[in-house]
Every structure is written in structure tokens, then in C-alpha cells.
Amino acid sequence: MQLQETKSTTRIIDLLPDILPSQVIRITALSATELAVQIKERQFSSVQVAEAFCHRAAVAQQLTNCLTEIFFADAIEQARNLDHIYETTGELVGPLHGVPVSVKDHFNVKGQPTTAGYISYANHAVRSQDAHIVEIMRNAGAVIYAKTNNPQCMMVLETVSNIYGRTLNPWNTALGAGGSSGGEASLIAQRGSPLGIASDIGGSIRVPAAYNGLYGFKPSGKRVPTSGWECTMAGAESITAVAGPIAQSVQDLELFLQVTLDAQPWLKEPLLALPWKSQTKHLETQKLTVGLMLWDEVVMPHPYITRVLREIAESLRQAGHEVIDFAPYDHKRAWDEILLPLYFTDGGLDIKQTLAAGNEPMLPSAEKLLSDPIVKHRSTHEVWKLNVDRDVYRMKYLQKWAATAQASRSGRAMDVLLCPAAPLQGTPHDVKPWWGYCAQWNLLDYPSGVLPAGRVLGDDAYPQGYQPVNDLDRENAALCESALMLKKMNDEHIKALAFSGR
């Protein structure tokens, strides 16, 4: 089939309706929550749903290179077994019965290899069991059918490796899909998956979600299971890596977390024994105090981002919520003196040794990060001191958050903080953007979500005479989605606000 020459071949997401059967389009237009209902009501069988998403994922792979492992035949067999159970017993296996779920490559899937973007890992045997979160999804009835690309070394905001190559952004293939969960985001944006398992230690769920117009959520540490994933720097726990969802809707994010925590994962690995308590209905009637942070005083977001934030703030005011300004606290110092040093206390040695074991070159994205003079080996005592600095900074930020009660009419501290997910909407290939807008909340271990909020307009522009405040800001301005943050362990509230504020 020839693509229409009038349509942009960089915005390939617009091409999909021309090359997909109507039944595939109809099924893949549904969210994970909607699919679960449609399967329960026998509108579609699990096999029909699996076939549709396998079809669309295959097309997405050819257009954007988002997949690493494809096991469609196994997925159809999983779906066939689920249909048989439903037909013979009248009972669903679980709340995700027949819903396809894609998996970021570094999570183990039984019977499949896990490379995590490293050539040396490609020589490892296929995995004999699922990662814990994959097991939970499967036990809830999910159909596991594909693994998605993540970058070399994981700690970068573009998805490219020497094994699988570069994943493209379907909205503009001249831009990256974000990282490190860029394969998930690219696939889900093309509706080749309704729900994906991803991970985040510095923005790896939220930046790809933002770049691809999706919903993503980074939980607080030790709530969602992470056992059974493969990565370098395992055991480095000063900054907690987490697993979480990327999806097409707020309801799907909550479905993922409800299913996960209903499984009581703390009985199998050391996690916080905190069941999921949905706040959606409660917050639909509650008037909230919302903090607004237009920028972090390090890198000014592109003008369309600050415009959209102001529009959201005004919409919240019109809905009866109180919006107050929130000034960031020392974000640049926190990055330079605490966060970046704690990310690489070994100076990047584990990553370099893993690359050497596979005789593979370090890619530009990783090279730019690890060549930062702040990245160096730290002694045990230096790490202890950094951990103390981290905890002191966390306490001061909590105090600053609590002090917002003095600025609100209600006398309550802000319930949620509205701010950019990134200072720009997508980066050209091999460009290293400022990730402080997302990584800040990893440092604080606050739950953080991202949701699509607007589009770029032709008249978006920096204020006349704007002068960048530093080199990072200058680089971002030359390249001329919003995120929500909450205090630690208030994970339930973030999606409720996104739901009630839409």
C-alpha cells in the first residue's frame, strides 16, 4: 500500500487510519478500562482483542522501531485460553481479563530474553520467570505480547541502543520518543498497546509520556514491585527507582495501580503494605488548593508550556479551586550537589564495565551524561554525607510545602503542585535536555504524574527581550505537558485530581 504523499511522513501517527483494517481501529481505539468492560460484556473476545493489538503493534514497530521482543503467537494462545475459561466457567480470570499489556524490555518476561539495552546482556539465557509486576498483571488476566525498547544505560531521556537502534516519536519522527521508557510511549501513542509497564528514576515514565501525549505516573518508592528487572547499578538505593504505568487515560493509570496493590505485593517482596484507596469520588466534590510553578528558576520552559499551565490554572479557578504561586527551592543546587552525585556514586564504573563486557561503544546520549565533571567515584563517607544532605533537603522542602498554608485563603497547604514535565516538548536526536523538572521529584520521592494538556500554537513566543539565565537555559531556548506532584505517599490523590480537573 502506498502512503498518501499529501501526509507528512514525519508525523506518521496520521498515517495509521489509512493502513489498518476498520476492526483493528475500532478495537485499538478503546482504553484498557473500556476493553475490560467490552470483553466482560462479550462485545469482543480476548482473541479478537489480542489479534488487533498485535496487528497494530507490528505496524508501529515498522514505523518507529519501538519493540524488542515480539511473541504474538504466544499472546494469541494466552487469549484463546482466557476465552475458554470464560466460556466454560462464566468467570473472568481477573480485572484485566484479555487486556493486552506491553512490557519495557528490562523487566523479565518468562521465556523471553532481557537485554536492558546492553549487548553483553544479550548473551544471557531467556528468563525462566516473570518479573513480579508482570506476574501480577498476568494473574489478573492480562495478555503479555511484546517487550519495548529502552536505551543503553537507561539513564537518558532518549531511547536508542546498539542492539535495537533508535525509537522514533510518532508525532514527529525527527524527534526522540523520550527515555528511558520511549519504546512503551511510542507504542502506546500509536495505540499498539492500551497499557504499558514502565520504570522511572529521573523521568523515564513521565518524559516519554509527555513527549508522546500520554498519561504516566511515577509512584512513591517501595509501593509497586520491582523485583525481576535487569539493570546496571543494582543496589544503588540513595535515589529509588520505581515501576509504574503509561496509558491512554487517568482511569487506566488507576486500574494498573488498583490491580497491583490488590495483589498485596508486599507479601512477596519488601514493599510498603499500603493498599490502594481511590480518592476519585471524594475529590470530585472537594475544593483543592493547587500550587503553580511555571518554572524551576534553572531552565525556562518553551512558551507554549507556560501558556498551557496558565490556562489550566485559570480553568481550575473557574471550577472553584484555589491556585497559589509556588516558588522552587534550590533546584539547581539540589541537582549539582545531591542528585547527580547520588545517581553515579561509582562514577559510572558499572555502566562502563557492562559496555566493555559486550565490546560496545558508549552512545552519545550516555557519553554526554557520564562526562559531566560532577559524575565521579565517591568514597563510602562521601556517600553517607550525600545521603544526609538529601534528607536535610527533603525536610526543608516539606517545610516549604507546609508553609504554603500561609498563602492560601483556606489556610491549608497546597494539595497538589502543577508544573512542567519538561522544559520542551520533544528533543532532536542525541540532544541532552535538562531533566530537573522530573528528576526533582525522584530526589524528594514524591509521586508524580503527567497528562496531556494542550497544543503548540503559531503565536507562542518568549516574552520580548527575554534573556536566558544560564547556559542550560540558553541551550533550551535555542531548541525553541504538564506534571503533577504530591507529597510522598499521597499517590492516590494525583490521579483523582487529574480526573476531576480534566
Residues belonging to the binding site for substrate are: 154, 180, 201-204
Residue 386 C-alpha cell reads as 550525600
Closest C-alpha to 12, from 170, 184, 166? 170
Give Dmax (Cα) for the chain: 71
What residue has cell string 511484546? Answer: 146
Residue 257 C-alpha cell reads as 495501580
CA distances from 60 to 35, 104, 463 (A): 20, 15, 39
DSSP 3-state of 476 = helix
Inter-residue contact 206 to 450 (CB < 8 Å): yes
Q: Which of 31, 102, 180, 365 is catalytic?
A: 180
Closest C-alpha to 310, from 487, 469, 457? 457
Q: For residues 338 and 386, what is the distance between their CA atoms, to the nearest angstrom?
A: 6
Let me know if 204 is a catalytic residue: yes
**What does the chain come to in residues?**
502
Inter-residue contact 289 to 404 (CB < 8 Å): yes
Inter-residue contact 200 to 221 (CB < 8 Å): no
Q: b/e for 338-353, b at 16 or more Cβ within 10 A?
A: bbbbbbbbbebebbbe
Inter-residue contact 83 to 89 (CB < 8 Å): no
Let me know if 180 is a catalytic residue: yes
DSSP run (H or E) holding 387: helix 380-402
Q: Which of 45, 161, 204, 448 is catalytic?
A: 204
Cα 438 to chain centroid, rounded:
10
Q: For residues 201 and 439, what is the distance between their CA atoms, to the nearest angstrom?
A: 7
Listed in sequence order, the residues at least 6 apart from 263 whose beta carbon sits closer than 8 Å to its beta carbon are 136, 139, 140
Q: For residues 258 and 219, what is the distance between their CA atoms, to the nearest angstrom?
A: 12
Q: Which of 104, 147, 218, 495 is catalytic?
A: 104
Closest C-alpha to 61, from 173, 177, 187? 187
Inter-residue contact 493 to 253 (CB < 8 Å): no
DSSP 3-state of 249 = coil
Inter-residue contact 71 to 78 (CB < 8 Å): no
Cα 386 to chain centroid, rounded:
27
Q: For residues 352 and 371, what is the distance between their CA atoms, to the nearest angstrom?
A: 12
Listed in sequence order, the residues at least 6 apart from 410 whose beta carbon sits closer than 8 Å to its beta carbon are 287, 289, 322
Q: Which residues are annotated as a binding site?
A: 154, 180, 201-204
Let me know if 104 is a catalytic residue: yes
DSSP 3-state of 265 = helix
What residue has cell string 498515517? Answer: 15
Residues known to be catalytic = 104, 180, 204
